[in-house]
Amino acid sequence: MTAPTTSVPTPADEADPPRPEDTGDPFDRDALPAPPGATAALLRSLLAPMKARVAGTTLLLLLQQAAVQAGPLLVAYAIDTAVPAFRDHDHGPLVAVAVGYLLCAVASGGLQWAFIAAAARVNQDVLLDLRGRIFRHAQALSVDFHERYTSGRLISRSTTDVESLRELLNEGLQELITVVLSFVYISAMLLWLDLSMGAVAVASFGPLYLLVRLYQRRAGRVFRERSTAIAAVIVKFVETMNGIRPVRAFRREAVNDADFRVLNRRHERTNGDALLEMARYVVGSRLVANTAVAFIVLWGAYRVADGALELGVLAAAVLYLRRLYDPIDRLGMFLNSYQSAAASLEKIAGLLAQTPSVPEPSAPEQLPALESDLPGREVVFDGVRFGYRTGGEVLPRFDLTIPAGQTVAVVGSTGAGKSTLAKLLARFYDPSDGRVLLDGVDLRELAVPELRRGVVMVTQEAFLFSGTVAENIAVGRPDATREEIERAAKAIGAHDFISALPDGYDTDVRKRGGRISAGQRQLVSFARALLADPSVLILDEATSSLDIPGEQAVQRAMTTVLRGRTAVVIAHRLSTVEIADRVLVMEHGRIVEDGPPADLVAGTGRFANLHRAWRDSLA
Amino acid sequence: MPETPAFAEDPADRTGPTGRSAVRTLLRLWPYVRPVRVRLSTAAFVAIVASCVGLVIPLVLKWMVDGPVADRDPRGVWLGALYLLLLGVAEALLFGLRRWLVARPLSHVEAEMRAGLYGHLQRLPVAFHDRWASGQLLSRGTTDLMLLRQFLAFPLTFLLVNGVTIVVGVVIMLLQDWTLGLVMLGPAVPLIALSAVFEKRYAHVARLAQDQVGDLTTVVEESVLGIRIIKGFGRHRSQTRAFRELSRTLRGTELRKARLLATIWAVIMTLPEVAIGAALVVGAVQVADGSLSAGTLVAFLSTALALRWPVESIGFLLAMSQEAATATERYFEVLDAKPESAEPSASGEREPVPGGGVRSPSARLPAACDGLRFHGVRFRYPDAPPDSPPLLDHIDLHIRPGESMALVGATGSGKTTLTALVPRLHEVTEGRITLDGQDITEVSREELRSMVAVAFEEPTLFSTSVGDNVLMGAGATAGAAELRRALSIAQADFAHTLPRGTDTQVGEQGLSLSGGQRQRLALARAVVGRPRFLVLDDPLSALDVHTEAAVEAALRQVLSDTTALIVAHRPSTVLLADRVALLSDGRIAAVGTHHELLRTNAEYAHLMSGGHSPEEEDEER
């Protein structure tokens, strides 16, 4: 695993991410490395819990095939035995044929039903498992991973790539089992009917095998290309739809059409290539099969002419022969789905092989019990260093202690490291060196639920999930009651606008009248944070879209909400400072000023400057 | 977290496919299939021939068994084997030919349909996108189209081929022995009836499954777009739970689908097999009577067995056709939505353009320098109930040429909506907006949007270089000099220090830059084309005080010769503008300079300087 390319975060903030544009970057090529054999191991691990059911399903299919394949045998028996017997007025054998055939018909139908139902259950369980694994794993991966991987690719992994596996399981596996069974069964029948004819049939498997291998090699490459191509199409699609306003305003439609056409063409080409590979395989395999039939019939006819073979046996053999090669197309279909699924599984395995750069602890620790009834906890940055993938330290050795219950405002220009500090405290990233401690416990030792009872961060991008407003607030605490949700909204001044929505708290944010402005969205995300009720609250530019009264309402609420809580507030608007106990001024990853706001304002340092500029801006 | 599936459309729009015929739905694909119709029909013809060749093979076998083999004629046997070989080779080549014929054309049809969907979606009104989760759109553009390609490749051809094969096979059987043939035809009627029932039920479940795939796609997408919130609140477990519930539901639907399919398979397998058994017994009796030759019976049964696959396959071919029909339906649900018209709307006719209605930019009179005007504009979102109070009402506002106007209003008062009306991202419900005296509905959107530059409050960057992201705001002729100028106005000079300077790629939505950096690039994009009209929606919210001051200084120069509408929350931004308009309760409540309004308007003073508004003080007492 090439950990270095993935576990070091890209800067989501400040010192800009040099995106490696050399095509060697696995992210750019959409080809994350997976350890050798990972694809097969993934498939095995998916099927392992289903062993018994797969076996049961296979058994159903075996029985079903037995019932189906008994047909020609009964035909041979009818012609060779029942007809002469009937002539001798012995109706027994013919009645036996009739009953036998009826039973076979009913059994093959019934077993087919049972098989499809059972197989679907296995398939769907495998898919459920795989979808869940992709989703859970993606959720466990860190923020920096998602910044590089893009949502489009992740969607592609969990839709089109899972779809390929679905096709393999739905049709492919059944095809394979049927094909193998028919081959074995019919070969055995042929060998039993007549050894030499059977031998010729079996010999024809040699060239077929070579053909299959050739196809597999060539199709594997094509399918990998196709999977990458469709992912690129999806990425473009998602980006356009999510940015539809600027697309429109800047008349990007034609340019986008052209870009999309290129990506779409690439997919079209690889798609066509895949279909053509299949065409080649079909021609080759049919040629082999039909030549073999001609030879076997010729041979059999000679033997009948010699009297070495009965006519009925030849008839049965001929019927079997036709069937022997019938599944060849289906073998092709199986190979087709297999190759397509293998290419997709390879990509999925690559995704699953990514280790979270912010892993959950194997033996999590608990936070010590709160000493008082106040929720705040002490935060310590102990010799923390942090640098982004591209080198250059954003935080060169950083020490900071924030006592429990203190509200700290962090100010400084863009790129000073404020957001990095916040993200380290929220454990979006881990420090490259040193520790971040919450009441003396390293954040890395805390399980996620414990961590989020401890620290919650509100960022400026206030994303709303599909669903109602209430559900969106309840993200803060899913088990919250409606009263608690409303109380949080009221505390932050969001209640009025929510009540004015068509269905109040139950308004679907995507349905009629559900349009919510950027400022309102920020209020919703504040309400989320209030509901979460953490020991440490981080606000990163959380009020940037609010108007002044809105911001003041939030701040009034904050003075009550933050009482006794530890808080780190990052804001360009220095109004925040008014509620802070302490101000940190950062520059180039270092704290250059530290003190109570009044002291700093009174001084002559940077903060005093900033504060003056801000005062002036309020004019 | 969304516990409910994120159905984007109104439930009312989701009429089930019941009552609509699958055939009629599928016929809508014709325009896309038309260009490849020759190939497709040739392929179908080839497939029919190939199948017929397959049917002839048993006849050759019969001829061999009854003739040369019985007569012990070695030459005849050789001849027969040679025929078999030739037929076999022909069959193989024909099968290959069929696939070769359709491989490229069908991939092309799929790609064309996808490009069509993408292009159409780009041109649908913004209001449409507000309502539709992009996962639903995406699933139409991917899985549904793949289903359609598969349908065109197999079920469409093979329903025809197998139908013909069955008919030819039945004719052959009837010719061989009409009593046996009739026995074989017996199950046809119940099969057709059962298939019809099956089709209807399957269509319903298939549609459900496809919609659920779309919902699942939406959750995956949101889980990435909202990853910081999910991580920040440690909510990945509940998000995973929501995902699991949806995928469980999908699993249930898929299982229902499978059970339906299993039933129809079982029926389609059993009935013909029973008929073959009956034919075998009847035939055996006839052979015993001597009224039928053994060779004929062998050939007859051989034909019957050769027909087994075509008959059995009808079940899943029908199922695939149903899925294709629902996929088509879903595809056209989006494609039938009316796009913004590219041409000036007919309403422009009420005011003929001077100069004989020529609307090229050069023909517009420079004398008509009038700035930006809102005339009695009323707006209500098109999906809002028509009797609901309009969001904006009686908006009359005049921004003089070269003037910049700040738009101030409480959170949620409709400022962003008002700005969206100028580049016609939304259409006014009533009233007019004019640019230099010309109604914006009289010019094409393309032209309108080239005159009006916009910076949105959410600065979206596209997956291309920083330079391209900025320059997309200008005409094709703009170059490095324009780029440098725009970056310096927006204080976005950091772009030059990026690893590859302005050629540095920014990722999906430019996530790898900070909010402030993205906002500055979006601002640069808005000013790079030296637009005559500029609409800025809270353009400086994510900037720190120093940067904001620098941007403001630079912007003032730009604004001196540009007519601008600027949404503002803060006095510093307001001071960029010459005058301020206060938006309150959907109306323009006051217009004036910042200082005038501060003195004369209590609401404005409250918005700009905070403090307790009168009502709030009442509440607190």
| CA distance linking residue A29 with residue A142, whole number of Å | 20
Residues B376 and B318 in one domain: no
Kindly state whether residue A53 falls inside one of the protein's structural domains: yes
B409 and B324 both lie in a single domain: no
| Total tally of structural domains belonging to chain B | 2
- Contact between residue B228 and residue B259 where contact means Cβ atoms under 8 Å apart: no
A26 occurs within a structural domain? no
B187 and B317 housed in the same domain = yes
Q: Are residues A414 and A498 in the same domain?
A: yes
Residues B260 and B384 in one domain: no
The pLDDT of residue B615:
46
Asked if A268 lies within 8 A of B111 by C-beta distance, the reply is yes
Contact A315 B298 (CB under 8 A): yes
Q: Say if A29 falls within a structural domain.
A: no
**Average pLDDT of the segment spanning A140-150:** 80
Interchain proximity B458–A261, CB inside 8 Å: no
- In-domain check, residue A73: yes
Query: B406 and B301 in one domain?
Result: no
User: Would you state the structure tokens that stand for residue A145, as one six-digit string?
Assistant: 């991973």
B327–chain A nearest CA distance, Å: 15
A89 inside 8 A of chain B by CB: no
Of the residues B320, B335, B350, the one at which a domain ends: B335
Q: Which residue range is the domain that position A213 belongs to?
A: 48-352
B230 interfaces chain A, CB cutoff of 8 Å: yes
Residue A133's alpha-carbon distances to A137, A140, A356, B232, B245, in angstroms, are 6, 10, 14, 21, 14
Residue B352: inside a domain, yes or no? no
Query: B116 CB near a chain A CB, below 8 Å?
Result: no
Q: Clarify whether residues A210 and A281 are in a common domain.
A: yes
Specify if A113 maps to a domain: yes
Q: What is the pLDDT of residue B351?
A: 39
Q: Is residue B348 part of a domain?
A: no
| Whether A340 and A393 share a structural domain | no
CATH of the domain at B301: 1.20.1560.10
Q: How far is B367 from chain A (nearest CA, A)?
A: 26
Chain A: residue whose CA lies nearest to B310: A326
Nearest by Cα to A230 from A271, A276, A278, A273: A271
Q: What is the pLDDT of residue A513?
A: 55
Same domain for A218 and A136: yes
Tell me if B1 is assigned to some domain.
Answer: no
CA-CA distance, A517 to B400, in Å (whole number)? Answer: 28
Q: Which residues from chain B sit within 8 angstroms of residue A244, using beta carbons?
A: 122, 126, 129
Rounded-to-integer distance, Cα A415 and Cα A422, Å: 13
Same domain, A418 and A348: no
Closest CA to B165 of B69, B73, B75, B55: B55
Interchain CB distance below 8 Å, A272 and B107:
yes
Residue of chain B whose Cα is closest to the Cα of A164: B143
Taking residue A432's Cβ as centre, other Cβ atoms within 10 Å add up to 15
**Closest chain B residue to A333 measured between Cα atoms?**
B154
User: Do B222 and B264 share a domain, yes or no?
Assistant: yes
Q: What is the mean pLDDT of chain A?
A: 82
**Pair A211, A285 in one domain:** yes
Residue A328 above 80 pLDDT? no
Task: Tell me which residues of chain B, numbers 563 to 582, contact chain A at a CB-CB cutoff of 8 Å.
Answer: 569-572, 575
Are residues B200 and B64 part of one domain?
Answer: yes
CB B270 to CB A109 under 8 A? yes
Tally of helices (H runs) and strands (E runs) in chain A? 24, 10
Of A543 and B137, the one with more pLDDT? B137
Asked if B472 reaches chain A (Cβ–Cβ under 8 Å), the answer is yes
CA-nearest residue of chain B to A116?
B262
3 state SS of B207: helix
Q: Which of B279, B313, B335 is at the close of a domain?
A: B335
Closest CA to A542 of A532, A533, A529, A531: A529
Say which CATH number the domain at B547 has.
Answer: 3.40.50.300
Across the interface, whether the CB atoms of A457 and B142 are under 8 A apart is answered: no
If asked whether residues A183 and A294 sit together in one domain, one would say yes
Interface probe, candidates A290, A309, A413, chain B, greatest B C-beta count within 10 A: A290
**Contact criterion met (CB < 8 Å) for A305 and B248:** no
Give the Cα separation of B149 and B154 in Å (integer). 9
Instruction: Flag whether residue A476 sits within 8 Å of chain B, measured between CB atoms.
Output: yes
User: Do B442 and B322 reside in the same domain of the chain?
Assistant: no
Among A230, A219, A465, A481, smallest CA distance to B143 is for A230
Q: Examine residue A217 and state whether it is found in any structural domain, yes or no.
A: yes
Hey, is the C-beta of A106 within 8 angstroms of any chain B C-beta?
A: yes
Q: Is A216 on the interface with B (CB under 8 A)?
A: no
Q: Do A128 and B251 touch (CB under 8 A)?
A: yes
Nearest by CB to residue A12, choosing from B463, B498, B511, is: B511
Strands B579-584 and B404-409: parallel
Among residues B155, B100, B117, B99, the alpha carbon closest in space to that of B32 is found at B117
Final residue before a domain boundary, out of B290, B318, B335: B335
Judge whether B130 is closer than 8 Å to chain A, CB to CB: yes
Per-residue pLDDT band at A3 (split at 50, 70, 90): very low
Residue of B nearest to A391 (CA): B499
Q: Does B286 touch chain A if contact means CB atoms closer than 8 Å?
A: no
Residue B118 and residue A260: Cβ atoms within 8 Å? yes
Which H or E element spans position A384? strand A379-387
A528 to chain B: nearest residue by CA? B233
Residue A215 sits in a domain whose CATH number is 1.20.1560.10
Across the range A564-588, mean pLDDT stands at 83
Has residue B96 been placed in a domain?
yes
Q: In this predicted model, what pLDDT tens digit does every residue of A364-398 receive, in sequence order?
A: 888 888 877 778 889 999 999 887 665 456 788 88
Interchain pair B570, A548: CB under 8 A: yes
A294, A406: one domain? no
Residues of A in Cβ contact (< 8 Å) with B126: 244-245, 248
Please state whether beta strands A379-387 and A433-438 pair in parallel, antiparallel, or not at all (unpaired). Answer: antiparallel
Fill in the DSSP letter of residue A538: E
CB B485 within 8 A of CB B462: no
* B446: closest CA of chain A, how far (Å): 7
Predicted pLDDT of residue A11: 38
Residue in B closest to A133 by C-alpha: B240
Task: In whole angstroms, give the CA distance from residue A571 to residue B229.
Answer: 18
Residue B345 lies in a domain: no
Q: Looking at the structure, do residues B377 and B329 belong to the same domain, yes or no?
A: no
Domains in chain A, number: 2
Residues of chain B with pLDDT under 70: 1-20, 341-368, 507-512, 611-621
Check B610 against A148: CB less than 8 A apart: no
Structure confidence at residue B38 (pLDDT): 92
A44 touches chain B (CB under 8 A): no
Position A590 in a domain: yes
Which residue, among B57, B121, B229, B599, would best test binding to A if mutated, counting the most A CBs under 10 Å from its CB?
Answer: B229
Q: Which residues in A lie closer than 8 A to residue B478 (C-beta atoms)?
A: none
Which of A 111-170 lie inside 8 A of B, CB atoms? 112-117, 119-121, 124-125, 127-128, 131-132, 135-136, 138-140, 142-143, 146-148, 150-152, 154-155, 158-160, 163
- The helix, strand and coil proportions of chain B, stated in percent and rounded to the nearest 5, come to 65, 10, 25
Closest CA to B112 of B186, B2, B34: B34
CA distances from B385 to A304, B7, B367 (A): 85, 19, 42
| Residues A57 and A167 grouped into a single domain | yes
CA distance A75 to B215: 52
Selecting from B2, B525, B613 the residue whose C-beta is nearest the C-beta of A467 gives B2
- A344, A393: one domain: no
Region A435-460: what's the mean pLDDT? 87
Of A105, A131, A323, the CB nearest to B273: A105
A114 and A213 share a domain? yes
Q: Which residues of B touch A18 (CB under 8 A)?
A: 498-500, 504
| B72 belongs to a structural domain | yes
| Residue numbers of the domain that contains B294 | 17-335
Minimum distance, in Å, between the CA of residue B502 and any CA atom of chain A:
12
Q: For residue A433, what is the domain's CATH number?
A: 3.40.50.300
Please indicate whether, in this complex, the C-beta atoms of B251 and A135 are within 8 angstroms of each other: no
* B10 belongs to a structural domain: no
Q: Are residues A424 and A347 in the same domain?
A: no
pTM listed for this prediction: 0.81
